[in-house]
Structure 1
Amino acid sequence: MHGLRAHIGSFTSAGGRGVVTAAVGPGTGALTALQATDAVADPSFLTVDPVRGLLYAVSETDPGAAAAFRLTDEGVEPAGPAVPVAGVHPTHLALAAGHLVTANYGSGSVSTLSLGADGLPTGDVAVLRHEGSGPDAGRQEGPHAHWVGADPTGRWLLSVDLGTDSVRVCRVTGDGAAVHGETPLRAGSGPRHLAFHPRGHRAYVVNELAPTVTVLAWDADRGELTPLDEVRALPEDAEGPAYASGIVAAADGRFLYTALRGHDSVSVLALDDTGSALTLEANVPCGGDWPRDLALHPQGTHLYVANERSGDVTCFALDEATGVPLRTGALPVPAASCVVFA
């Protein structure tokens, strides 16, 4: 039985090698490259079904697509051809209610792909088109769905839209996703990604254009989000532009981590016992250029940052008491875009 593997997405159109697989060193968290496949173009985001032994990737292209891969000892192998998602430039995907769902940034839509008993996409797809815009004419001229994911109960699908400054809560059925409710966030904030508190009662949205983190109460019984607070993700004296990207929550509920492009840093935000109050604990260099996404080691011991423009994934050991990352190494991955584990 092989050890833990990291699967790294990258942009083939910018010199990336597609889906890159690396071994994760026990204890050290160090990454060692094993395999790469460019079977799908621009696999910018990945997700894993560990039960079926499958990895899914978006193809962030126009038109967009999604593909399934089988997990192997050394990496992944294509499980079938990529299938259209009936949307443009899908940036994120997730499993929800027995379906594969993509957020299509370019077309401002969410696609629900049917899966067969083997977990492979059947080719059937239903599309939910977002409506609306925001005050930033350059980035918010229309809807731009950027993230999708199931809530911790698995009963609801949430979609984050940078263009409409809102989060939609949906139900997923055989007919696709249907909007149950929409929660507006601050106009012009540009929400990008979402992470849940490990207890499932709070959600945290990182806002790309702000850059801030919005704290929301989550009522899974009613399928309702309620904004509680918005906290700056950078020190007040930080200079230059900063565009927030990914956000992850520590499994013990003590810290949030978010990456900031332009400023090229990672911020650590401490959570109080309720998960409602955030305090900026630290801000450290990301170890590269343009950190597009970040991920926590399954054991919570290390943090990994995919630096798109410098073409590497940096590894950080996390201080157990303070949560502050300490850079321990990097793996060259041209045009790196995300990291998942299996």
Structure 2
Amino acid sequence: MGDVDTVDHTTDQHGEHRAYIGSFTSGGGRGITTAAVDPATGALTPIASLDALPNPSSLALDPATGLLYAVSETEDGMVAAFRPTAAGLEPLGAAVTVDASGPTHLSLAGQRLLTANYTSGSVSSLPLTADGSPGGPPAVLTHHGSGPDRDRQESPHAHQVLPDPSGRWVLSVDLGTDSVRVCAPDRGTGALRTHTETALRAGSGPRHLAFHPDGTLVYVVHELEPQLTVCRWNAASGQLEPVGEVPVTSGGVPGAERDYPSTLVVSSDGRFLWVAIRGADAIATLTLSGRAEKPQLTHTEPCGGSWPRDLVADPSGRRLYVSNEWSGNVTWFDIDPQTGQPHRSGQAEVPGAACVVFG
């Protein structure tokens, strides 16, 4: 199952505050790193690493049980559960197949574990057993379609899957088909069926979405174009309606590297939105205060590393954490409460960093 590597630590010695960092083992990562979180400064201090699963690039924590779930972003896609301990993490049973290739994101929906499978272009739904570990067999919903970018959109590429705030629906974002599918879970089996499919601009490559705190708006960030699509969300009918597009960069520089936005975060008070942008290696700040349907780009800040794959706010909402995959570090930023502008305050070395979640 892999080796556990622990080191001495002084911060948060009783384990009240923890963060878990997923990384690409194929890129020199250590698997899942457990870090202590200093509640005063937000500093992360790695205390243990566990390489029980190849390429755990996406993590999800169940707040009710404290269990941590991870994908294995490999050709033979898997998911696994882990139990936090004083020393770090221990596997909870064996990894389970998702019957698909390249799972790149996972989330919890009731008693089901969902994965978005990039290579296969599908979404898997797995039951959770009595002890919280994933079981099988998975129910797999296969996407269909393609896009105009022959290099990136030759087939479906599901990149994110998550339930809506009401818990009635599941939304899956597909980079390959330029669309977001709204799915209805079967109450008996947990299998997903497509309820509606919302088409976004051809060739834009939607990658991730986030809900506004009031639950009526959805923001979709695109990988193949540095833009954001704003959509109205109707939880009663399960309808997603695009209403506008907003750039997340201030404009291209001739000869500059192409920008590839990766993910986004909406502040818990609904005043700001942040986007991680690879290529530019930056965090874009957009204000939502004037009108949430028309975000405005106000600031761009260097991310403190290379190829920011993931961006997440801490539970307090006062800090942002960036997983910089190519430079192998996690950087954190204090957020100005008035302007939403992030200010870098620290970093931790994490080779192949892919994501951060907080316990």
TM class, shorter-chain normalised? over 0.9
Indicate which of 70, 73, 93 corresponds to 1:80. 93
User: Quick check: 144-153 or 167-176, which moved more?
Assistant: 167-176
Indicate which of 169, 176, 185 corresponds to 1:156. 169
Superposed CA offset, 1:164-197 (max 9, x none): 0000000112151111100000000000011111
In structure 2, the residue matched to 1:121 is 134
CA distance in 2, matches of 1:221, 1:312: 42
Indicate which of 194, 199, 203 corresponds to 2:214. 199
SS of alignment partner, residue 274 of structure 2: strand
Is the 1:318–1:324 Cα contact (8 Å) retained in structure 2? yes
CA distance in 2, matches of 1:21, 1:228: 41
User: What pairs with 1:28-107 in structure 2 (closer than 5 Å)?
Assistant: 28-107=41-120
Letter in 1 for 2:111: G
CA distance in 1, matches of 2:133, 2:91: 11
The answer on 1:226 being equivalent to 2:241 is yes
Indicate which of 244, 265, 274 corresponds to 1:257. 274
Is the 2:312–2:320 Cα contact (8 Å) retained in structure 1? yes
The answer on 1:305 being equivalent to 2:322 is yes
In structure 1, the residue matched to 2:192 is 177
CA distance in 2, matches of 1:167, 1:290: 25
CA distance in 1, matches of 2:160, 2:299: 26
| TM-score normalised to structure 2 length | 0.93
- Alpha-carbon distance, 1:13 to partner: 1.1
Indicate which of 255, 267, 271 corresponds to 2:284. 267
Letter in 2 for 1:222: S
The answer on 1:319 being equivalent to 2:336 is yes
Is the 2:77–2:102 Cα contact (8 Å) retained in structure 1? yes
In structure 1, the residue matched to 2:298 is 281
- Alpha-carbon distance, 1:4 to partner: 1.8
- Alpha-carbon distance, 1:27 to partner: 1.8
CA distance in 2, matches of 1:312, 1:337: 9
Is the 1:109–1:144 Cα contact (8 Å) retained in structure 2? yes
User: Quick check: 238-247 or 221-230, which moved more?
Assistant: 238-247
CA distance in 2, matches of 1:273, 1:130: 37
Higher strand content, 1 or 2: 1
Letter in 2 for 1:291: P
| TM-score normalised to structure 1 length | 0.98
Is the 1:53–1:71 Cα contact (8 Å) retained in structure 2? yes
Is the 1:44–1:91 Cα contact (8 Å) retained in structure 2? yes
User: Quick check: 57-66 or 20-29, which moved more?
Assistant: 20-29
Letter in 2 for 1:312: N
Superposed CA offset, 1:124-176 (max 9, x none): 21110000000000000000000000001111100000000000000112151
- Alpha-carbon distance, 1:237 to partner: 4.7
Is the 2:112–2:126 Cα contact (8 Å) retained in structure 1? yes
SS of alignment partner, residue 160 of structure 2: strand
CA distance in 2, matches of 1:127, 1:152: 22
Superposed CA offset, 1:202-230 (max 9, x none): 01111000111111000000001000111
Q: What RMSD in Å do the two structures reach over aligned CA positions?
A: 1.1
In structure 2, the residue matched to 1:16 is 29
CA distance in 2, matches of 1:176, 1:97: 13
- Alpha-carbon distance, 1:71 to partner: 1.9
Superposed CA offset, 1:66-99 (max 9, x none): 0000122342211011100000000000111320
SS of alignment partner, residue 13 of structure 1: helix
CA distance in 1, matches of 2:234, 2:200: 17
Letter in 2 for 1:214: T
CA distance in 2, matches of 1:126, 1:53: 25
Letter in 1 for 2:225: A
SS of alignment partner, residue 180 of structure 1: strand
- Alpha-carbon distance, 1:24 to partner: 1.1
Q: Percent identity?
A: 56
Letter in 2 for 1:260: I
The answer for unaligned runs of 5 or more in structure 1 is none
The number of equivalent residue pairs is: 342
Letter in 2 for 1:123: G
Superposed CA offset, 1:92-133 (max 9, x none): 001113200100000000001111122211222111000000
